[in-house]
Amino acid sequence: PAHRPLVGKTIVVTSGPTVEPIDPVRYIANRSSGKQGHAIAAALARLGATVRLVSGPVSIPDPEGVSVVHVETAREMKQAVEKHLPADAAVMVAAVADWRVESEWGQKLKKQPGGGAPTLRMVENPDILAGVGHHAERPRLVVGFAAETQDLLANARKKLEKKGADWIVANDVSHEGGVMGGDRNHVRIVSKSGVEEWPEMTKEEVAARLAEKIAEALGE
Ligand code: C5P
């Protein structure tokens, strides 16, 4: 029989960027291909989990065996994630925009002769992971990601606390032409009990190994 330790478990996954409109034709977004988040959703589904993937706009196909909600903004993503609670686990992989433009212009901003450039006033977006980590219906296992360019482990430990996560999957994105949009990843799993460093491998392999680790944790 197939190895399906996650049968009966529901897991919410976020993936991709969020996109925050400026006016009807312009937006601010984070750099994210969705490759890692989608691979994790697929790997969890292969182990038998009922996976609810909430994805920002990406150019890759919906993973097989997964129900997908497509969203654009951080606020839409938060709403979709919370609609899927209660769940046994949450894995928040999306690159959520930290800020959005305070009020979206209803019409396309036009260049005015001699008018100069517009000033964008930004406001903070909700932190979806922190919302789940501190939710009344908090999943038993809450996993976040942290893409850092410096002080990787110190920042990951701070994130564990602040966001109420059980694990932070930390990856160093400081190397040129590396993780962003690429097919490989080098991660460390930071939890209260310490740091587990995994060798560099493909995003598919990271996904498969993380799915197994999640199955083990939920099986305890
Ligand atoms: O604080 P930072 O953006 O580095 O945290 C990354 C982690 O938090 C990721 O798991 C990401 O999906 C999540 N996050 C979120 N909502 C935000 C910002 C980050 O869920 N507004």
Smallest CA separation from ligand 1 atom 4, residue: 146
Residue 83: the pLDDT is: 98
Q: Residue 54 in contact with residue 14, Cβ under 8 Å? A: yes
Nearest-angstrom CA–CA distance, 88 and 77: 19
pLDDT band at residue 175 under the 50/70/90 scheme = low
Nearest-angstrom CA–CA distance, 73 and 203: 25
Residue ranges lining ligand 1, Cβ < 6 Å? 14, 74, 92-94, 96, 98, 125, 127-129, 144-146, 159
> Which residues are identified as catalytic?
30
In a mutational test of the pocket of ligand 1, which residue from 12, 18, 20, 128 has the highest number of ligand atoms less than 8 Å from its CB? 128
How far is the centre of ligand 1, averaged over its atoms, from the C-alpha of 128 (Å)? 7
Residue 61: the pLDDT is: 98
Q: Residue 122 in contact with residue 102, Cβ under 8 Å? A: yes
Peptide bond into 57 cis (omega under 30): no
Higher-pLDDT residue of 181 and 165 is 165
Output the known binding site. Answer: 98, 108, 126-129, 145, 159, 163
| Mean pLDDT for all residues in the chain | 94
**Over the stretch 83-137, which tens digit does the pLDDT of each residue have?**
999 999 999 999 999 999 999 999 999 988 988 898 999 999 999 999 999 999 9
Pairing between β-strand 201-202 and β-strand 184-185 as defined by DSSP bridges:
antiparallel
Q: What are phi and psi of 38, to 5 degrees?
A: -65, -40
pLDDT band at residue 152 under the 50/70/90 scheme = confident
How far is the centre of ligand 1, averaged over its atoms, from the C-alpha of 127 (Å)? 6
Output the known binding site for CTP. Answer: 98, 108, 126-129, 145, 159, 163
ipTM value for the complex: 0.95
Mean pLDDT of 196-209: 96
Nearest-angstrom CA–CA distance, 149 and 152: 7
- Maximum CA pair distance of the chain? 71
